[in-house]
């Protein structure tokens, strides 16, 4: 079945540092890929998405490229801010026969001033 | 603006009690989902619905049930609450189709349930 593996957290960075959060997936077919962000006490918000191979999703300075050859969708940001502190979830799908998303375990990011 | 709401936001109950968590969306989406969030597990799918009168089990459906009598609502019921069901519960919805847009899911703010 489908699965998503994210790097373990927490990730602690200083403000303006470069961020990478790794995400790899296992899937049948050609699912879409997503990054969701969860700020403290809130629900999940879509950060970015990519619907086919080689697509690059981007939003708020974050980027991720759908790499079919390496089954990866790593999240990057060139210069993080304290306000980026949150939990980030990589998600897979939906795909044929399944409209729900498959989530990774989440990676907590803490940015220090 | 369209939105998805959940109530209550916090609930404390006792083992063995029946509990119902409400989810209401004004997106007019056919697809609705319930997930639970636990540390180290991310979000896991409990139940889902593709339309009125349609309900399906997800990966962790034991001890939970849902019903879909209209497009807007998908209440989640814990028939006899157990301590293992202490968690944060999220409701989500999405359009029935639209693969080109990636079938984005919209999430509610969550309900924190504690079973004592």
List, for residues A6-53, the tens digit of each pLDDT value.
988 899 999 999 999 999 999 877 788 999 999 988 889 999 999 889
Q: Chain-wide mean pLDDT for chain A?
A: 91
Chain B residues within an 8 Å CB radius of A107: none
Most confident of A45-54, A75-84, B35-44, B88-97: A75-84
Closest CA to B19 of B86, B76, B61: B76
Q: Give yes or no for B40 touching A (CB within 8 A).
A: yes
Select the residue of B94, B104, B108 nearest A43 (Cβ to Cβ): B108
**Contact between chains at B100 and A51 (C-beta distance less than 8 A):** yes
Q: Return the H-helix or E-strand segment holding A92.
A: strand A86-92
CA distance A29 to chain B (A): 13
Instruction: Write the CA distances from A23 to A31, A58, A71, A104, B69, integer angstroms.
Output: 14, 16, 9, 8, 38
Residues in chain A: 113
Q: How far is A18 from chain B (nearest CA, A)?
A: 24
- Say how far apart CA A2 and CA A31 lie, in whole Å: 10
Look at chain B and count its residues: 116
């Amino acid at each position: 079945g489908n699965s998503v593996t994210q790097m373990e957290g927490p990730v602690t960075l200083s403000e303006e540092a470069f961020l990478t959060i790794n995400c790899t997936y296992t899937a049948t077919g050609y699912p879409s890929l997503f990054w969701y962000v969860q700020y403290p006490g809130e629900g999940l918000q879509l950060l970015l998405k990519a619907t086919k191979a080689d697509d690059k999703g981007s939003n708020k300075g974050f980027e991720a490229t759908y790499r079919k050859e390496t089954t990866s969708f790593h999240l990057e940001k060139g210069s993080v801010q304290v306000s980026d502190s949150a939990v980030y979830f990589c998600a897979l799908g939906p795909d044929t026969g399944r409209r729900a998303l498959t989530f990774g375990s989440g990676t907590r990011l803490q940015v220090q001033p | 603006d369209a939105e998805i709401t959940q109530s209550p936001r916090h609930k404390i109950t006792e083992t063995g009690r029946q509990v119902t968590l409400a989810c209401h969306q004004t997106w007019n989406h056919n697809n609705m989902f319930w997930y639970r969030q636990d540390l180290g597990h991310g979000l896991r799918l409990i139940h889902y619905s593709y339309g009125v009168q349609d309900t399906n089990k997800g990966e962790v459906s034991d001890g939970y049930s849902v019903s879909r009598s209209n497009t807007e609502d998908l209440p989640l019921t814990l028939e006899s609450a157990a301590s293992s069901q202490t968690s944060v519960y999220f409701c989500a919805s999405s359009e029935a189709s639209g693969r080109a847009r990636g079938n984005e899911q919209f999430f509610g703010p969550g309900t924190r349930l504690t079973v004592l």
